[in-house]
Structure 1
């Protein structure tokens, strides 16, 4: 296992199989991996399972799925693999490195979230997304749609449609590429009153979890985006990054320039060491809270439509994305 990222995934797959009292199939493994913060589809899981089978760590039990072998249990106990606590941050850093969006040309890769919805629910879901993006509590009104027959790197199961929304970590990548040091700090639920942000109700640090904080809050169904649209009061999702206070002026210039590219969502920029909506910030640093791209998907779920969402999923060419 020479590649550290592949090694992490192989060990995690073995953990999932080991924790089950019956054989586990590739689809179940893929779902659980995504719950644990590993963005990987069913096809990729099958590839990793073949590696594990070849090494003698897992074996097939008919058509039921895989079980872990005695050799696999030993490998799992002895594997010199660090805990997953840093995996989310590592994933974010990887995607920030891969994105190359240019605010001047409005071209290049941006980081996206991928949400899967049943084909029968697609029309209703898109109508809700259109309404929410018009309200401005997301990163960008642009999305991209992939069906199960799309020739793309997005793995779309049969009967589903994938909806790509711009991820708020795109802001971090743009700032970094423009020479502004930035670090994702927190994800959380933000209270809105009279259409104005008031305070973070709950926060989870990106450095202290093995699962993306936004995914955690989505799974808990903590938002009331539709209430915000109807009454101006409710809860939405936002995250915060920190930048050196000395770089605030440059950051504001970059943010103003990318607004012309329909990339926004920045709520404000705090002063040095200032708590922003109740979120702590170290002295010498400024907090920059941003609405997250998955607020549109939260609204879809609040309307009773089942959606599986994978935040900070991959990168896509921004110029291929469009408004509804």
Structure 2
């Protein structure tokens, strides 16, 4: 059986082809997938198209592109019956499982966000991101830059843009799981900061109840005031919450402290058993762990009037190949 993540991409590719009245090529499909939130390159699209051809869902017309077959139309109709709610949490859980970074050896993969910025704006955006990193607003000071001709990690970069990979806060969930601690991502939210200290969540969205990443929703709303928070100590920043069994709290604290030494930071605290943590509800017998997200740096870029498109919780990347930004 094909990986569920691959199946979702196959459905989206069929949808794109079905929406066109003429054959569609891999490059155009890759462009549209990017617009729809999938960080997938032209080479990977061709791989997925071969699968669709083999299943009889698409038909190749030489170098012109593909059209969808009647069999493909039926398959697409059946696939779209299921609701997209829960899509984000299932993707997050997949990436959590794929996180294998070893805090002792410094080897393995972490989860990253991918942000696309116009080449002409990148230098100014980079200055703001460095400033945000110096203020402790990100998970790590390490990042990777991809030009439009890059083929690494199959990161697709549209013409005229630069892609920036930054460490995602969901990496903490992967590290907890790798340490043998069951973990469940709960909410993405907007954290009120007073006197440079977290005060409490003023808005929360459950990862289980949305088909769009909550952090991306807050970015679209332009709900943050990250730069103001840096300057005055008061404002709103992005954060998320996960819960673990209360009995695992001491072990989790050890892991979080070790992660900090490895330049993976951002956790605020470990809550009390069954108690709200910064106004975020937590299940009985569990404790909540809120973390400031690495995308706060991107929010600061957008607040400065620079256009950026971010795909949170995008993919995994080898941490030791990322560089000090």
TM-score (norm. length: structure 2): 0.88
The answer to whether the aligner puts 1:145 opposite 2:148 as a matched pair is: no
Which deviations, in whole Å up to 9, do the C-alpha atoms of 1:56-98 show, x marking residues without a partner?
A: 6456899998765544332222349743323322222222222
Q: CA 1:105 to 1:57, structure 2 compared with 1: closer, same or farther past 3 Å?
A: closer
Q: Match of 1:228?
A: 229
In the TM superposition, residue 280 of structure 1 has moved relative to its aligned partner by 0.7
Q: CA 1:17 to 1:234, structure 2 compared with 1: closer, same or farther past 3 Å?
A: farther
Q: Match of 1:317?
A: 318
In the TM superposition, residue 230 of structure 1 has moved relative to its aligned partner by 1.4
Q: Match of 2:264?
A: 263
Q: Match of 1:214?
A: 215
Contact 1:190 1:198 in 2 (8 A): yes
Q: How many residues align?
A: 321
> SS where residue 84 of structure 1 aligns?
coil
Q: Match of 2:74?
A: 74
Q: Match of 1:290?
A: 291
Q: CA 1:183 to 1:131, structure 2 compared with 1: closer, same or farther past 3 Å?
A: same
Contact 1:111 1:167 in 2 (8 A): yes
The answer to whether the aligner puts 1:129 opposite 2:163 as a matched pair is: no
Q: CA 1:60 to 1:108, structure 2 compared with 1: closer, same or farther past 3 Å?
A: closer
Q: Match of 2:280?
A: 279
> SS where residue 152 of structure 2 aligns?
coil
Which deviations, in whole Å up to 9, do the C-alpha atoms of 1:212-245 show, x marking residues without a partner?
A: 2112222222111111111111111111000111
Q: Match of 1:9?
A: 9
> SS where residue 85 of structure 1 aligns?
coil
In the TM superposition, residue 27 of structure 1 has moved relative to its aligned partner by 4.4
Tell me the distance in 2 between the aligned counterparts of 1:75 and 1:7: 12
Matches within 5 A, 1:179-258: 179-258=180-259
Which deviations, in whole Å up to 9, do the C-alpha atoms of 1:29-52 show, x marking residues without a partner?
A: 313431xxx443444335434544
Matches within 5 A, 1:88-167: 88-153=88-153, 154-167=155-168
Contact 1:8 1:81 in 2 (8 A): no
Contact 2:114 2:310 in 1 (8 A): yes
Deviates more, 1:2-11 or 1:184-193: 2-11
Contact 2:114 2:165 in 1 (8 A): yes
Contact 1:30 1:45 in 2 (8 A): no
Tell me the distance in 1 between the aligned counterparts of 2:194 and 2:63: 53
The runs of 5 or more residues in structure 2 that have no matched partner are none
Contact 2:189 2:204 in 1 (8 A): yes
In the TM superposition, residue 248 of structure 1 has moved relative to its aligned partner by 0.8
Q: Match of 2:32?
A: 29
Contact 2:189 2:205 in 1 (8 A): yes
Q: CA 1:66 to 1:196, structure 2 compared with 1: closer, same or farther past 3 Å?
A: farther
Contact 1:13 1:33 in 2 (8 A): no
Deviates more, 1:303-312 or 1:53-62: 53-62
> SS where residue 201 of structure 2 aligns?
strand
Contact 2:88 2:207 in 1 (8 A): yes
The runs of 5 or more residues in structure 1 that have no matched partner are none
When the two chains are superposed, the root-mean-square deviation of aligned CA atoms in Å is: 2.7
Q: Match of 1:173?
A: 174
TM-score (norm. length: structure 1): 0.88
Q: CA 1:45 to 1:211, structure 2 compared with 1: closer, same or farther past 3 Å?
A: farther
Q: CA 1:164 to 1:79, structure 2 compared with 1: closer, same or farther past 3 Å?
A: closer
